[in-house]
Structure 1
Amino acid sequence: MTAPRPAEPPSEDLSRLAALHGVATSYHPSPDRTVAASATAVTLALAALGVDTAAPGAVRAALTARERELGARLLPPTVVGWGARTPAALAALPEGTRLHVRTEQGETRASAEHLPPGVHEVAAAAPDGRTARAHLIVAPTGLPAPPGRSYGLLVQLYSLLSRRSWGMGDLADLAELAGWAGRVLGAGFVQVNPLHAAVPGLPTDPSPYRPSSRRFPDPVHLRIEDVPEFAYADDRVRALLERAGRLREEVLDKGALIDRDAVWETKREALELVHEVPLGPGRRAAYDDFRAGQGRALQDHATWCALAEAHGADWHRWPAPLRDPRSPDTARARRELADRVDFHSRLVWLTDAQLTAAQRAAREAGMPVGIVHDLAVGVHPGGADAWAQQEYFAAGMSVGAPPDAFNARGQDWGLPPWRPDRLADSGYAPFRALLRGLFRYAGALRVDHVMGLFRLWWVPEGHPPTEGTYVRYDAEAMLAVLVLEASRAGAMVIGEDLGTVEPGVREALRERGVYGTSVLWFERDWDGDRRPLPPDGWRADCLATATTHDLPPTAARLSGEHVELRDSLGLLTRSLEEERAEAAADTAEWRELLGRLGLVRGAASEEAEIQAVHRYLLRTPARMIGVWLPDGIGDRRPQNLPGTWDQYPNWRLPIADARGRPVTLEELAGSARLRALIDVLRG
């Protein structure tokens, strides 16, 4: 049988054109290996950036035009400055160039020296007659380190049910957890999953990493009884409490999975009734202020929600005029659906208030950081953000990952990427607005796949992930926006930088005060004998943990149960015996190191080993140490098992003990096993 021919590589002209637009023509899956991108992948990526290369001679024409444009350009569309120093792009202007700077604070200046942090506008006029206008982002040189060293809890909020929640964990549960953990455990933070707005529909995609909107939160997390108007709603809303109680009991007492759709349907009915209660004068004024502050972004989001109720959750299938958020038909529909638009706007306001209350509870409990929120890497292509911000997304493209040692077929995450050119032209306006919204109620922000600030793997629609290519972003500008908005909020940033990271990324993040993520099982001497990395070999500027939501809990890792689980679901690529042997050898090396360091105390047991793992984390210089909350009670089930969809109940499991029995927030607070684990870190 004849082997398939390799994809045709880009021509020299196409490669030069691609480079001028930040489109890669090759990538390095390992330091000693280079893989060429196909001409098709490069051509389609350029097309998504508005560069036509299809017609005869189009590549040469586009290359000539791009070279001429860049050669004549006085300034790029966005200029970055750090601290009080003059931005490099402005310092490099021809001698005699006149500047006119309009600062964010409303000042007018004739130079770019000692500008305050902010997003300013600069106009330049060179002696040769060239002129330019650009956005000028001035950010602090870096984020300060958080005070002292801290430890905290990592939890998927939906999995944390109390005896008051409506079938899944909610924001009042988060506030309770933070208040208890801060005051009783001395914890410095609680990290949660993304709480972004989900795409509606039955069934809803349960993954918090493929939301409808990253800009606005999901009202499914509301504690209905904490909405002030609840007390004045008619008796129908109280009847829903019985249904909520049944949902809670099904999960906690009868072993059912978390049914997000049923929870939302019950809460939605309650919120419809609460919405009928008029707001008092003070509440109305606060709501009006909130809407005014959020501006068109909130109006667009609420309009999409109202239109989705009428036409379905994928805007691509709506009547053609409604696919444009700025069309006259959309404006008319917004007026006709004014009550529904108000309903969804009000839900955002209520959710924002409870998110703010959770962070306030954390800080009042003594947490130096508080709630660490999670920023997903992208949004659903049919959702609110993709509809409202169409001009910023690359049509026909999806974010993913190239083939690597762990996944030979690559990955397609189904998330449309932002266009780097449109971001730069806008001064990164949508990114700034997104971050500013999240930092309203976050003590820190975890950025999922933080490498995406530098480049993303673009997969053309209809093509496998192997036929994608990397597209580069202006990392300096993306980082400047991130540092600027975090500093305004007095918050810190943690980048999820696990897996393959191109050289220089971690160094650039460290320079700006962005922390990394280190997971025990991955910390090995990859450049040497590949044995477990000793504690003093770890970096300090990171959040160190034993596991994550995508990995087995520590109890399952130590016992090898995670291999059995993957085998039962047909996910192994080798024989069960080979996988067992490799997992056992990996664990044995860690056990040997823990024993040699004298970290296993008392009689050998699973609980003692989990404590030893966290003593090891304490030995590292990591300034933040995270405890996966299910580890505190011996839970053995991962919250998400990558590579599965309906074969495994991803994102639907309540926190449970070693026997699989769901454990409530109230029981967690009284758990001697959890207290003993936290005492390890307190010691």
Structure 2
Amino acid sequence: MSQTPPPDEIPAELLELAHVHGVRTEFYGFDGGAQQVRASTLVAVLEALGVPATSRNQVQMSLALARDDEWRQALPPTVVVRQGVDATVPVHVNDGSAVQVWVELDGAEPLAARRGQRERRDLTQREVYVEPRMVDGRRTGRATFAVPTDLPLGWHTLHATSDGGEAKTTLVVTPQRLTLAPEVEQKQVWGLLVQLYSVRSRTSWGLGDLADLADIAWLAAHRGGADFVAVNPLAAAEPTVPMTPSPYLPTSRRFLNPVYVRVEDILETAYLSAADRSLVEWAADPVRDLATDPGPIDRDAVWEAKKAALEVVFTAPRRAARQAAYEEFVAEQGKGLRDYATWCAITEHLAGKDWPRELSTPDAPAVVALREQLAERVEFHTWLQWVADEQKAVAQRTAREAGMKIGIMHDLAVGVHPEGADAWANGAYLARGVEVGAPPDMYNQQGQNWSQPPWNPRALAKAGYAPYRDMLRTVLRSAGALRADHILGLFRLWWIPGGSKASAGTYVAYDHEAMVGILCLEAQRAGAVVVGEDLGVFEPWVRDYLADRGILGTSVLWFEQENGGPLPPEKYRHLAMASVGTHDMPPTAGYLAGEHVDLRERLGLLTEPVEVVRRRAREEREVFVRALVERGLVGEDASEREIVEAMHRYLRRAPSALFGVQLVDMVGERRSQNQPGTDQEYPNWKVPLGDANGNPILLEDLFESQRLRSLIAALNADA
């Protein structure tokens, strides 16, 4: 194996090793044809998983280790079960030795919790004979124990003792399925799909913020009857400029981007001295006029201004109760928050220089020393997360008090920036030398590389899924719902070896029962609805599985087709959020006009002659309009506005539990927020909300828009 053999000559041992570790050796492309994975890809992916495979001897040794790996451990790395479902756990001990197994419950009994005790439940052994094995010179037996079906939901600890030794592991009890609230289950509810940064107000410093989000929710509920507002990921970006504009490439998925903080809404701002208040006002002066600037949003200017103001507010004293609340937040977020704030402080300190090797891990001695040296900046970034979390909570509380059944739907990106805070703090749980992406499909024929390091499923299981759990808990704070981008990644992800084309990757499987189950557990604890973006290439059973767990899918009008035309609304899934388009497509007005074809032609993204693509777009439009005419939703000579409204009325008749309406469609905006396949060629994630002519629309004027009010009236008339 010193040289890579042709695809059809992959050694059987390498194929077996890949199979054992969940690495696909073949996959089906978007055209339905089977594709064999290259040997070099299998080797690179296995190495990224921590499985040596660069030589034949390494493959043989790794395979021998893998065959007996679970027998070397008394207990599995993590045990995840569904509440009320019969499950067993294998326990490995010296053959013939007695073994006792019990579970220590986490906070199951209030009285025990008050006494500092944890309830213990013994497990019963099942009469299941398994042939013993010789493992590392030791004759090892397997005992099978039943997990009680009445264990409470939560994170428990499983113990096993034998021959004087004790082992323990994490036992997670997850709900069988999430259930929708009756008011959502019984009748479709609709809400706004909003790119928050683009919706500016006269007081938001040139970029939509968390105070604007609260106002949008209140207005949408009172003036539109909406029941949720879904926003782009608000996850953290760099603490220095330039700031990555894409909300789907955050430095941390767990923590918030403080650029969304409304400075004036921090309570301590009201108690600033006249001199300090002047400093805050001066900081805002350079960006106040950006709210009406029709050009690309300037995050860097906004952040520089806000950071200067926030540094002033940070020095203001806090009342005793406020200080206690801050300290409770810091204690609750624990090491994760400390590491994130430390990364921010070091990033500022290095000022664009490469990170020295001695700073490569959060617990390195050099990092500990630098954390003490930068203690004030670490504290500043810790405080920023507290004030951002407070304003996030206000937005959700405002939405619910306004009458929304769900409130704010937050968005969880697929992954993180390869050089960001999460990649640094969670490096032990991420795979290196590979990047996440997608295989070629009909829209991206070269495949996609998202440049993000994936979770290492082996390392994650050994950690008891704690990093994944902690991330979910923070994201779900003050969330009425969560949209999980590319939820198929909880089943398998497309791993691309570093330096390779996106098409030269393969799928790596994850323990979806654990990944999805933990998502359900944390969402149920938070009282949140979960929507999974399940678009793309996937096995049909995946959607059934998600529906069985109570996770809503995603149905997009342009993609849902049957017999060459749009899928009839009555055939849509109930457990889904339906919408006309997505943020990766032009707004509906622009799409109907074929502007996506014009844009892709200008950017050199077309792989076919422009005449062919343009003709296909016209035919697609005609098919959809014809379906609307046949249902009596528009006339033969309908205007663009009438067609856009009819498409939304079409989905209003679907049984989908949720219906998301893009805010850009409500005001006639035509420009795309994001053009896949581009970086600097297009102002991705920088387009401010505007009307059909690109004129900025401020939040104060939004609900006075005749076009918006007309669409809202159409939606509510068909309810």
Note closer, same or farther for the CA distance 1:205–1:8 as it changes in structure 2 (3 Å cut): farther
Pairs within 5 Å for 1:175-324: 175-234=214-273, 235-241=275-281, 244=284, 246-252=286-292, 254-312=293-351, 317-324=354-361
Of the three residues 152, 165, 175, the one matched with 1:140 is 175
TM-superposed CA distance for 1:44, in Å, is 1.2
Of the three residues 119, 123, 137, the one matched with 1:107 is 119
Note closer, same or farther for the CA distance 1:246–1:107 as it changes in structure 2 (3 Å cut): same
Q: Is the 8 A contact 1:313 1:382 kept in 2?
A: no
Of the three residues 442, 456, 465, the one matched with 2:479 is 442
Paired position in structure 2 for 1:665: 699
Of the three residues 552, 573, 594, the one matched with 1:515 is 552
Q: Which amino acid aligns with 2:180?
A: A
Of the three residues 376, 400, 417, the one matched with 2:437 is 400
Identity of aligned residues (%): 47
SS of the equivalent of 1:57 reads helix
Pairs within 5 Å for 1:599-614: 599-600=633-634, 604-614=638-648
Note closer, same or farther for the CA distance 1:336–1:532 as it changes in structure 2 (3 Å cut): same
TM-superposed CA distance for 1:246, in Å, is 4.8
Which digits, 9 at most, give the CA deviation of each residue in 1:454-504, with x for residues without a partner? 011111112222221111110000011000000001111000111112231
TM-superposed CA distance for 1:131, in Å, is 7.8
SS of the equivalent of 2:646 reads helix
TM-superposed CA distance for 1:255, in Å, is 2.1
Aligned equivalents of 2:629, 2:524: Cα separation in 1 = 42
Pairs within 5 Å for 1:223-622: 223-234=262-273, 235-241=275-281, 244=284, 246-252=286-292, 254-312=293-351, 317-525=354-562, 529-600=563-634, 604-622=638-656
Note closer, same or farther for the CA distance 1:130–1:346 as it changes in structure 2 (3 Å cut): closer
Aligned equivalents of 2:610, 2:62: Cα separation in 1 = 54
Paired position in structure 2 for 1:60: 60
Paired position in structure 2 for 1:29: 29
SS of the equivalent of 2:535 reads coil
Note closer, same or farther for the CA distance 1:73–1:302 as it changes in structure 2 (3 Å cut): closer
Paired position in structure 1 for 2:113: none
Q: Which amino acid aligns with 1:500?
A: V
Q: Which amino acid aligns with 2:700?
A: E
TM-superposed CA distance for 1:313, in Å, is 5.8
Aligned equivalents of 1:363, 1:602: Cα separation in 2 = 42
Q: Is the 8 A contact 1:291 1:345 kept in 2?
A: yes
Aligned equivalents of 2:618, 2:632: Cα separation in 1 = 21
TM-superposed CA distance for 1:602, in Å, is 10
Q: Is the 8 A contact 2:27 2:36 kept in 1?
A: yes
Note closer, same or farther for the CA distance 1:31–1:82 as it changes in structure 2 (3 Å cut): farther
Q: Is the 8 A contact 1:243 1:266 kept in 2?
A: yes
Q: Is the 8 A contact 2:73 2:92 kept in 1?
A: no
TM-score normalised according to structure 1 size: 0.94
Aligned equivalents of 1:131, 1:335: Cα separation in 2 = 38
Q: Which amino acid aligns with 2:284?
A: A
RMSD: 2.3
Q: Which amino acid aligns with 1:430?
A: P
TM-superposed CA distance for 1:55, in Å, is 4.0
SS of the equivalent of 2:582 reads coil
Which digits, 9 at most, give the CA deviation of each residue in 1:554-606, with x for residues without a partner? 10111222222222222222222111110000011000000000112697211
Aligned equivalents of 2:546, 2:42: Cα separation in 1 = 28
Pairs within 5 Å for 1:63-74: 63-70=63-70
Aligned equivalents of 2:57, 2:285: Cα separation in 1 = 68
Q: Is the 8 A contact 2:201 2:291 kept in 1?
A: no
SS of the equivalent of 2:558 reads helix
SS of the equivalent of 1:342 reads helix
Which digits, 9 at most, give the CA deviation of each residue in 1:25-63, with x for residues without a partner? 111114742111111111111111111122451111111
TM-superposed CA distance for 1:335, in Å, is 1.0
TM-superposed CA distance for 1:412, in Å, is 1.0
Paired position in structure 1 for 2:140: none
Aligned equivalents of 2:392, 2:219: Cα separation in 1 = 17
Unpaired segments ≥5 residues, structure 1: none
Aligned equivalents of 2:663, 2:422: Cα separation in 1 = 32
Aligned equivalents of 2:479, 2:472: Cα separation in 1 = 10
Q: Is the 8 A contact 2:153 2:172 kept in 1?
A: yes
Aligned equivalents of 2:283, 2:637: Cα separation in 1 = 46
TM-superposed CA distance for 1:99, in Å, is 2.1
Q: Is the 8 A contact 1:168 1:248 kept in 2?
A: no
Q: Is the 8 A contact 1:600 1:611 kept in 2?
A: no
Residue 117 (1) aligns with residue 153 (2): yes
TM-superposed CA distance for 1:78, in Å, is 1.6
Aligned equivalents of 1:386, 1:371: Cα separation in 2 = 27
Q: Is the 8 A contact 1:635 1:656 kept in 2?
A: yes
Q: Is the 8 A contact 1:199 1:380 kept in 2?
A: no
Decide which moves more: 598-607 or 215-224.
Answer: 598-607
Aligned equivalents of 1:292, 1:644: Cα separation in 2 = 41
SS of the equivalent of 2:565 reads coil
Q: Which amino acid aligns with 1:198?
A: A
Which digits, 9 at most, give the CA deviation of each residue in 1:622-677, with x for residues without a partner? 11111100111100001111111122111111110011100001111211211111
Aligned residues: 673
Aligned equivalents of 1:407, 1:552: Cα separation in 2 = 16
TM-superposed CA distance for 1:92, in Å, is 13
Q: Which amino acid aligns with 1:590?
A: F
Unpaired segments ≥5 residues, structure 2: 108-117, 124-146
Q: Is the 8 A contact 1:9 1:38 kept in 2?
A: no
Which digits, 9 at most, give the CA deviation of each residue in 1:391-438, with x for residues without a partner? 001111111112223223221111000100111111210110011001
Q: Which amino acid aligns with 1:238?
A: S
Q: Which amino acid aligns with 1:119?
A: W
Aligned equivalents of 1:40, 1:337: Cα separation in 2 = 44
SS of the equivalent of 2:328 reads helix
Q: Which amino acid aligns with 1:549?
A: H
Paired position in structure 1 for 2:139: none
Decide which moves more: 404-413 or 208-217.
Answer: 404-413
Q: Which amino acid aligns with 2:587?
A: P
TM-superposed CA distance for 1:5, in Å, is 9.8
